[in-house]
Amino acid sequence: MCPASEARDEYITIIAPTANEAMAQFKARGLDVLGYAIAGRIGRHQFTLVGGEDAQELFSCAGMIAATFSRRVTGGAQSPA
């Protein structure tokens, strides 16, 4: 089998204040047309960005909705911009 034809999963996570806004962005970006589907539950998250020994709380610990979408692609597929 040629490595270029191997299938892999691609993920996009949209972070928004509400689930409605996350889903509206999914539709506005045409992710459904590109073959993405919801990968799991949509829910409120707190985010921490870690780099080395440093950690930074994102979004002022307010908690944002995260919606993750995935698709299965072969080696030649392009990621959305």
pLDDT in tens, 31-69: 999 999 999 999 999 988 999 899 998 887 678 999 999
Q: Please determine, for residue 77, whether its predicted confidence score (pLDDT) is greater than 50.
A: yes
Report yes or no on 1 lying in a domain: no
Q: What is the pTM of this model?
A: 0.77
Q: Is 10 exposed, middle or buried (0-12, 13-18, 19+ CB in 10 A)?
A: middle
Q: Does residue 21 contact residue 66 with C-beta atoms inside 8 Å?
A: no
Residue 81 falls inside a structural domain? no
Q: What is the pLDDT of residue 80?
A: 64
Q: Does residue 69 sit within a domain?
A: yes
Q: Write the DSSP assignment of 42-73 as a string of letters.
A: -EEE-EEEEETTEEEEEGGG--EEEEEEEEEE
How many domains, in total, are found in the chain? 1
2 assigned to some structural domain: no
Per-residue pLDDT, 74: 86
Q: What is the pLDDT of the chain when averaged over all its residues?
A: 88
Domain that holds residue 26: 8-73
Do strands 64-73 and 37-38 pair parallel, antiparallel, or not at all (unpaired)?
Answer: antiparallel
Q: How confident is the model at residue 78 (pLDDT cuts 50, 70, 90)?
A: low
